[in-house]
Amino acid sequence: MIAIYPGSFDPITFGHLDIIKRGSQLFDQVVVAVLRNPNKSPLFTVQERIEQIRLSVVGLPNVEIDSFAGLTVDYAKLRKAKVLLRGLRVLSDFEKELQMAHTNKTLSDEIETVFLATSNEFSFLSSSVVKEIARFGGSVDHLVPQHVALEIYRCYAQTYPESTQNMNNPAIHLNQPKVDLQSETVHQQEV
């Protein structure tokens, strides 16, 4: 059975990876589907987010990364998926996600929403929290994979927040050229 795990993943966090790993143990295939939303101004492009996720899920052979625009249920039908996978952190997530699940059910009776409660250590974690911390110079190394943390620091042109020595050293800036992640191919199906 194929499960779609949709989201913006801007950026992917350890909380997202928790859901992806656990979902990959429950379903034959998990498609991490990055939403292309023209109404939002993300920190990373869709292609950058796909590359970040791809590097984060190495070792999970039944996880695929893709992108889509439009209704999630339409994308799920296109991929012949029967399940939408969603993570729940707090009660407010449940209210929003339940409303979305009911709405999706009115659009397609064949697709079910499966909720996984996020592991306790990630219950506070969101992409917004990560960006807020990084924007003000805090370390996000414990919240996202290392390669993602480096990309975040580059975006905010911060110094490495790993130690006070690096924080005070103006010679150590992350505005160096980006690592070329485009050289490896990623399956991306246009919708």
The neighbouring-strand residues paired with 30 are 3, 63
Identity of the amino acid at 156: Y
Q: At what angle do helices 146-155 and 127-135 cross, to 10 degrees?
A: 50
Q: Which residues are annotated as a binding site for ATP?
A: 8-9, 16, 87-89, 97, 122-128
Measured distance CA(123)–CA(118) in Å, rounded: 6
Q: Which residues are annotated as a binding site for substrate?
A: 8, 40, 72, 86
Contact, 133 vs 148, CB < 8 A?
A: no
- Catalytic residues, by residue number, are 16, 40, 89, 127
As a whole number of Å, the end-to-end CA separation of the chain is 21
Q: Which residues are annotated as a binding site?
A: 8-9, 16, 40, 72, 86-89, 97, 122-128
